[in-house]
A and B are shown apart, each in its own frame.
Chain A
């Protein structure tokens, strides 16, 4: 009964193909600029961290953050536009596609965009002196689940939003802090225990840690915990997003 979500995915993919360059630059511009500024700029003045150069250190984390940004922004600005001004959701719900399939299609589509951004960042890592290990193949499903997680959070915001300004709360109070404090730019293990605990409560931390392990091929003992957190959170948030979108659309 859920298979029509694929049609929603296809609709979005068809539209995306028309503006593929604008979309990719929009999603990848920021992490790339950070890689340049922090890696080449700041990085020259910083000694090695955890046995790698600063540029090598931040690369895997930026892969994870690229997924977060493009996944959540698609289900905020993209989905909200389709929900409100374009009335695309209303049109779709006049067909056999159910509201659950619609929401799932939007989430899976945004996760697809997320993983695409992640893969492009991954492919760019050699430019920054990091040759990823073969373990990165295992990173792909992790990035997809991370995409589902952040796409779902974005869709939850869309279900609650009254206007575009509403997304500023989420971006400023959630996405940006995650970007800065999930261990992308500094090593969390060097911090005091309280900060380490707080950091582990941030969902992006787990994706950053796994990304680093799999890019370097140095698999730490705590990988199952990171993976489990991402799996549980992604399923839970997707469920909440579907419930809230249903509540918003079916009066």
Chain B
């Protein structure tokens, strides 16, 4: 049985949110199926965090329906939230409390009793390599430790759905790898996840399906590997040279089945099928690099290379 044959854990239909004149999310449809990790991608301001906040009842939708675990959030928000864990984009650990207290106090909000909370907290601090920091105050933690604590906190209620809003933002490679390993471990144990991230390597590694948002709308969705191969081809040539030479090159390649993108003094050539001219070009020009296409290429193609936040 494929994942999509089961009823979705999260079902969003026709979701729209306006803040005054600004449309943050427009007619969004989204399903998350049990056991999958869905990646929600998009430039800053595309509506990812707003969607998550609507899912949690922290932002009221303008129109549309959200149901989680088969129940409408407008009717059963409290019961639904009992089964969700959240790693927010911006750190909101309780700075008045120690590492351990952050977990114990958070568990209390879920109605988990003190002894059960203590045991879960111990396990989670072990799982995220924070055991020797348990009595530390939050201000003394490094960025990576704070993120790991946020993850521990999100798991204190053993959630069936884990929402990760840029979980490794601003971390060094070591810390990111540790978090990825833990998330893969959770995924293998069946935890359903919704992940937003700007790190395409993270998305490729963790998600089984992605949904790309731009300006509040879905612009593409599917299996990340298949989407890249279908839209971008398998390889890309990056050519750096003088504008005249690039102009000439563009002309010679017009008979090949390629997509060409010109960015200032650089040419990106996406080959959909082998082409002799392309191979010759790669051999003769000096500033050419050839690499496999990736999710970042697709992302930039769909959402543009220009900065969005102006």
Contacts and interface: CB of A to CB of B under 8 A. Distances in A.
Contacts of A11: 94, 105, 108
B92 A251 contact: no
Contacts of A249: 58
Interface stretch (B81-89, B197-205, B249-257, B277-285): B81-89
A96 B111 contact: yes
Contact of B95 (A4, A86, A93, A94): A86
B106 interface: yes
B110 A95 contact: yes
Contact of A250 (B60, B95, B106, B109): B60
B305 interface: no
Nearest to B56: A94
Contacts of A250: 57-60
B96 interface: yes
B58 A86 contact: no
Contacts of A93: 56-58
Interface in A88-110: 88, 90-98
Contacts of A94: 56, 58, 81, 84, 86, 88
Given A14-B105, A249-B58, A86 B94 contact: yes
B93 interface: yes
Contact of A95 (B81, B91, B96): B81
Contacts of A251: 19, 53, 58-60
B90 interface: yes
B101 interface: yes
Given A15-B97, A94-B58, A86 B109 contact: no
A91 B150 CA distance: 10
A87 interface: yes
Interface in B53-78: 53, 56-60, 77-78
A98 B59 CA distance: 13
A80 to B, nearest CB: 14
Contacts of B97: 14-15
Interface in A193-251: 249-251
A44 interface: no
Interface residues of B, number: 31
Contacts of B19: 251
Nearest to B101: A14
B108 A7 contact: yes
Nearest to B59: A251
Given A14-B105, A91-B92, A91-B94, A96 B82 contact: yes
B275 to A, nearest CB: 52
Size bracket of the A interface: 20 to 34
B78 A98 contact: yes
A86 B94 CA distance: 7
A87 B92 contact: yes
A94 B86 CA distance: 7
A7 B94 CA distance: 14
A95 B82 CA distance: 7
A90 B78 contact: no
A97 B110 CA distance: 8
Contacts of A97: 109
B172 to A, nearest CB: 24
Q: Among B57, B91, B94, B110, which residue has the most Cβ atoms of chain A within 10 A?
A: B94
B101 A86 contact: no
A127 interface: no
B92 A88 contact: yes
A14 B84 CA distance: 25
Given A18-B96, A88-B92, A88-B94, A96 B109 contact: yes
A1 interface: yes
Contacts of B91: 87
Interface string A64-88: 0000000000000000000000111
A37 B92 CA distance: 44
Contacts of A88: 92, 94, 96
Contact of A91 (B53, B77, B84, B93): B93
Contacts of A14: 97, 101, 105
Nearest to B78: A96
Contacts of A92: 109
Nearest to A1: B78
A10 interface: yes
Interface string B106-126: 101111000000000000000
9 tightest A-B CB contacts, nearest first: A87-B92, A95-B109, A91-B92, A15-B96, A94-B86, A96-B81, A96-B78, A7-B108, A251-B59
Interface of A: 1, 4, 7, 10-11, 14-15, 18, 86-88, 90-98, 249-251
Given A94-B56, A95-B157, A250-B59, 5 more contacts: A10-B105, A86-B95, A250-B58, A250-B60, A251-B59
